[in-house]
Structure 1
């Protein structure tokens, strides 16, 4: 495997890890609460973003960007009925 392929796989793993992390946490919040706690999801996503950014710097940029996008997306998806009711 070339170095280029290895770097591409690392970037892809960062994106998928952020996606699955937020998706699983959002699903857990959805199943355990009668009304979806969107503020808890946003707080956890932004908090993790700040921690990873301070800890690792810009090394995991794709993870951080995907984390914020997925947090906002899943917050809108699970609150769709409350936003457009």
Structure 2
């Protein structure tokens, strides 16, 4: 059995430390949960596209600094990996 290095709870804690707006934190947290629990690869791909667009919009409107953008992409990647492992 493969042990997960990071849990959703740990990632949500990291998310809360990124100093995003409350709305952005809530939306990204929701995406992380739906990515991790995607019932199929098609659903996973759809959610990944949605969160990528959302993060790009936040970045385009200068609502993220470079470090926040990188860390958010890492959180999305970890949620995706957890989805694929389950």
**TM-score normalised by structure 2 residue count:** 0.52
Aligned to 1:45: 51
Q: 5+ unaligned residues in a row in structure 2: which ranges?
A: 1-16
Q: CA RMSD in A?
A: 3.1
Higher normalized helix content (fraction of residues): 1
2:69 is aligned to 64
- TM-score norm. by structure 1 comes to 0.52
Give 1 or 2 for the bigger CA radius of gyration: 1
Runs of 4+ in 1 over 3 A off after TM superposition: 17-23
Task: Name stretches of at least 5 consecutive residues in structure 1 with no aligned partner.
Answer: 1-10
